[in-house]
Amino acid sequence: MTKIYGILAHPARHSLSPAIFNAAFLAEGINARYEVFDVESLEKFLKMLARGRKISRLENSSPGYICGLSVSLPYKESILKYLDEMSEDVRAIGACNTVKITDIQNSDGSAKKIASGFNTDWIGFIEALKEKIASVKELNVVVLGAGGAARAIVYGLIKEGAKVVVLNRTVEKAAKIAKDFENIRADGGTTEGNRADENNRATERDRAIESDRADIQFGALEELENFKCDVLVQATSVWLDEKEVDFVSEEYLQKNKPLVFDIVYKPLITPLLQSALNSGCKIITGDKMLLNQAVKQFEIWFDKKAPKEVMSKAMNTDH
Ligand code: NAP
């Protein structure tokens, strides 16, 4: 039976994911097909396919078995309540972009399916960054935006030990990220979790944990001029509907010469990246994050190394 994978999003028509994954399935000789589930209502979609609450029951009404989903806007948060289990990253970030459906056996021998949620956005971002910069530790990074993608990116940066400033149009959302992640430690896990486990250990150890607290500040987009940075990350959705933005000036880019990473990949060279190139800055385009998060998604679904070259080529020929 052909295994079915797909992207669950709205709109999803212009997604590059079918080209990326179908090329990977072909190259690896996997009997699977990647489809587009462009649905206006997550609830209706799940009801229609499953007549039940959990994603793990989707396979009943599909011509193949649904074994995995890439989840995109606007369902990354709302999918959480339909999962049977989720990774620590999903719990911390509050968003899931990868669902894996696995068969498990009950103790009475009967079979059931489990839907597990993962987040590969932060891994895709960090991997793409590390292709240009050997170590992220201690880097000063400004992230513009505080939506779902920015949350995943900030989570990854904090885990890697970067010093992060989050700036957003709606400042409250940037403040919430700073609050939510203040206890994430550079080596993963939370200080609170560790404290609970080691309650009776010496204060010396506690002080070390204290100094490991996330270095994270927040503010409004207009405050960018106040923060020098090594890396500037553009994680708003601004290019979707606006050709010009005024929250990053060429003067700022010329003065600080940051590495500029715009995670938007349509267009590939956004106006900000063009401005960065004009100012002599190095850049990273959004397709690098997309590719690396897809590679990780493949590895979660199939427990083996992804054919990254094939996936990259498929993505580029589909532009
Ligand atoms: P989201 O949750 O909807 O967040 C949108 C963000 O953009 C918010 O911070 C919002 O600010 C800000 N924003 C929107 N319009 C703005 C404007 N005119 N001026 C200033 N800020 C504006 O979206 P998301 O999931 O974070 O995705 C953001 C972008 O990243 C999208 O374009 C998406 O396609 C892209 N993305 C790329 C990858 C990749 O692999 N390359 C992965 C994920 C997402 P407010 O909070 O003030 O509304």
pLDDT band at 66 (very low <50, low <70, confident <90, very high): confident
* pLDDT, position 212: 62
CA distances from 49 to 32, 36, 212 (A): 19, 14, 46
Give the closest residue to 132 by CA, choosing from 288, 315, 302.
288
Residue nearest (by alpha carbon) to ligand 1 atom 19: 238
The dihedral over CA atoms of 20, 22, 28, 33, expressed in degrees to the nearest 10, equals 140
Q: Give the residue whose CA is nearest to atom 16 of ligand 1.
A: 238
Return phi, psi of residue 167, to 5°: -120, 135
Residue 59 or residue 163, greater confidence: 163
Residue 60 pLDDT > 70:
no
With a CB cutoff of 8 Å and minimum separation 6, the contacts of 179 are: none
Cβ-contact 167, 147 below 8 angstroms: no
Q: Where are the beta strands (DSSP E) in the chain?
A: 3-9, 32-38, 65-71, 85-86, 98-105, 111-118, 140-144, 163-168, 216-220, 231-234, 259-262, 283-284
Ligand 1 contacts (CB < 6 A) are 73, 121, 124, 145-150, 168-170, 173, 235-238, 240, 242, 263-265, 286, 289-290, 293
Distance from the alpha carbon of residue 128 to the mean position of ligand 1, in angstroms: 18
Q: Which of 3-12, 78-87, 184-193, 198-207 has the lowest mean pLDDT?
A: 198-207
Within 8 A by CB and 6+ apart from 250, the residues are 275, 278, 279
Nearest partner of 92 among 147, 152, 36, 48, judged by Cα: 152
Rounded average pLDDT over 50-78: 72
Closest ligand 1 atom to Cα of 293: 40
pLDDT at residue 318 in the model: 53
State whether residue 103 is helix, strand or coil. Answer: strand
Q: Distance, CA 27 to ligand 1 centroid (Å)?
A: 33
Rounded distance, CA 232 to CA 278, Å? 15
Structure-model confidence comparison of residues 64 and 230, the more confident one: 230
Based on its alpha-carbon atoms, the radius of gyration of the chain, rounded to whole angstroms, reads 21
In this structure, what token pair is assigned to residue 3? 């295994």
Atom number of ligand 1 nearest to Cα 169: 47
Q: Which residues belong to the active site?
A: 76
Tokens of 23: 């090329």
Q: How far is the CA of 131 from the centre of ligand 1 (A)?
A: 23
Best residue among 237, 283, 284, 289 to mutate for probing ligand 1's pocket (most ligand atoms within 8 Å of CB) is 237
The model's pTM is 0.89
CA dist., res. 256 & res. 271, Å (int): 18
CA 264 – ligand 1 centroid, Å: 8
